[in-house]
Structure 1
Amino acid sequence: MTRTGNSTRASRGRRADSGDGDGGGTSRPGSARADSARADSKRAGAKNADAESRADRKSRTRQALLDTTLDLVSERSFASISLREVARGAGIVPTAFYRHFASMEDLGVTLVEDSMRVLRRTLREGRRDLAARQALPTVRTSIAILFNQVREDESAFRFLIREQHGGVAEVRRAIDTERRLFAKELAIDLARLPDLSAWDAEDLEMVADLIVTIMLTSVAEYLDSDYRGRGVEREVIDRVERQLVLVFLGMGRWRSRHDR
C-alpha cells in the first residue's frame, strides 16, 4: 500500500512538473497574435513609406523634366529640343524619361496645360470679385492681374506665345484648346453680369474671344520688349488698356441679333 501510494504521488508530481514546464516554455496565443500584428504593422508602415518616397521622387523628376524644357525653350523652339537634352538636364538617363511622359509631344502638351491652368485660375479669382460686385471688369485690374502672372512665369508664357505657331502640331492644338477654354470661362463670367444678361451665348463667346486675343497679343509684345528696350513695356500696357476700354465701351452699346 505504501509503495503504491508513493508511486501514485510521484506520477502526479511528474504530471504537474510537465504541465508547469509546458506553461513556461510556450507563448500564450494572444501574445503571439499581438507580436504578429505588430510585425505586420511595421512591414506595412515601411512599405507605405517606401511607396511615398518613390512617389515623391517621381514627382520631383517629372517637375525637373518640365523645368528643364522651359529653360531650353527660352531661346529655342520646342521642335529643336531633343529628349536626350531634357533627360540630361533633369539628371536622368534617356530611357527613364518614358516613366514620366509618353513622348516629347506629351511633355509639350503637359507644359501647355499646366501653364494655362495657372493663368486661368489667377484671372478667374480676379473676375470672381468683380462678378460679385456685378460690374464689368476694370481694364487696369484685368491687365494688372495678367502681367503680374507673366512676370512670375515668364518662361512659360514665352513658350506659349512662341509655340502657338510652332512646328509641333500636338502642342499647337493644345494651346488652341486651352485658349478656347479660357474664352469660354470668360464668357460664362460675363453672362452673370446684369448689363449683359440679354446677350446670347454666341455674342458672349465672340467678345470673350476678342478679349483673350487682345490679352495674348499684348503678352507677346510685352515679352518682345526685352529686345526693343524696357521703355516699350509701358507703351505695351498703355495700348492694351486702351484697346480693352474700346471693347468694354462697345459692349455697352451692343445689341444681340434678336434685340435688333
Structure 2
Amino acid sequence: MSLTKPALTRSDVEAPATRIERKERTRQRLIEAALALIGQGRGFSALSLREVAREAGVVPATFYLHFRDLDELGLALVEMGGVTLRRLLREARRDGIPPTDMLRGSVLIYKRFVEERRLVFRFIAGERGGGSRIIRDAIRIEESHFASEMAQDLRSIGTLPELSSTTLQMICGLVVTTMLNAASDILDLPPDQPTREQELIENFVRQLRVVFLGAARWRDQR
C-alpha cells in the first residue's frame, strides 16, 4: 500500500478560488438587483427579500447565504456610497485644483460621480430621511467620516487655519449636507437641458461659497 499522497491537480487548486468568485458574483447580483428595482422607481424600504432574489435570478434561500436581511444588503449599498465619496476626495486631491477654482471644480467632479453612480445615490437620497433606522444611522456615520476626511484635507492645505478642529468639522458637515441635498437635484435633471444644468451648478457653487464665507468670518469663543 503506497503512502504517497496523490498530487494536486489544477482543478483541485482552482476550485476554492472558483467557489469564492462564484459566491462574490452572486452577492454582487443581489446588490445590482436591489439597485435595478430602485431604478424602476421603487423605494428600498418597499422592497421585499423575495423580489430582490427573483430579480437576481436566485431562490430566497440563496439570499440568506449572503445577507441576514434587507437591512444588511442596505448597509452594503451605504458602504458603496461611502467608497464613492472617498474616491471623490482622492480624485479632487490628485487633480490639484487651484484654490480659486476649487469649489467649482469640486462641484463638477461631484456631479460626475453622482451621475456615474446614479442608482447608489438614488438609494442614499431616499434612505437618509426615511426607511430603516439602521440604514439611516449608517448613512450618518458615512457622512461623518466624509466630513472628517474633508476637514483633514482643508487643515493640511492651510484653509481656515484660525478655526478649531471642532468648528472645521462642523463646517465640513454643512458642506457634506449641501452636497447630499444637491444629489437629488442632480438626479432629477432632465436630459439635454444645458441651461437648467448650468443653473444647478451655479446655485450649488453659490451655496458652498456662502458656507465658506461664513466660515471665514467665524470666530471661536475663547
Asked if these proteins are the same fold (TM beyond 0.5), I'd say yes
C-alpha separation in 2, matches of 1:83 and 1:58: 18
Which residue is equivalent to 2:220? Answer: 256
C-alpha separation in 1, matches of 2:95 and 2:197: 27
C-alpha separation in 2, matches of 1:106 and 1:81: 13
Is contact 1:78–1:168 with CA below 8 Å preserved after alignment?
no
Structure 1 unmatched ranges of 5 or more: 1-31
1:121 aligns with 2:52: no
1:193 aligns with 2:157: yes
1:211 to 175, 192, 196: 175
The Cα shift of 1:184 comes to: 1.2
Structure 2 unmatched ranges of 5 or more: none
Which residue is equivalent to 1:145? Answer: 109
Is contact 2:147–2:173 with CA below 8 Å preserved after alignment?
yes
* Secondary structure at the counterpart of residue 219 of structure 2: coil
Give every structure 1 segment of 4 or more consecutive aligned residues whose post-TM-superposition deviation is greater than 6 Å: none
1:67 aligns with 2:32: yes
1:156 to 120, 127, 130: 120
The Cα shift of 1:128 comes to: 5.2
Encode CA deviations 1:38-57: one digit per residue, 9 max, x unaligned.
x3232xx4323111111111
1:79 aligns with 2:45: yes
1:90 to 56, 60, 81: 56
Encode CA deviations 1:14-41: one digit per residue, 9 max, x unaligned.
xxxxxxxxxxxxxxxxxx88xx46x323
- The aligned runs of 1:19-58 (5 Å cut-off) are 36=4, 39-42=6-9, 45-58=10-23
* AA matched with 2:181: T
The Cα shift of 1:208 comes to: 0.2
The Cα shift of 1:136 comes to: 7.5
The Cα shift of 1:83 comes to: 0.7
Which residue is equivalent to 1:103? Answer: 69
Higher relative contact order (CA 8 A, sep 6+): 2
* AA matched with 2:7: D
The Cα shift of 1:79 comes to: 1.4
Structure 1 residues 157, 96: closer, same or farther in 2, change over 3 A? same
The Cα shift of 1:256 comes to: 2.8
- TM-score w.r.t. the length of structure 1 is 0.76
C-alpha separation in 2, matches of 1:195 and 1:86: 46
C-alpha separation in 1, matches of 2:194 and 2:141: 32
Is contact 1:105–1:168 with CA below 8 Å preserved after alignment?
yes
Which residue is equivalent to 2:188? Answer: 224
* Secondary structure at the counterpart of residue 210 of structure 1: helix
1:181 aligns with 2:145: yes
* AA matched with 1:70: L
Q: Which has the larger radius of gyration?
A: 1
Is contact 2:80–2:120 with CA below 8 Å preserved after alignment?
no
Q: Specify which structure has the higher proportion of helix.
A: 1
* Secondary structure at the counterpart of residue 211 of structure 2: helix
The Cα shift of 1:257 comes to: 2.6
Structure 1 residues 230, 170: closer, same or farther in 2, change over 3 A? farther
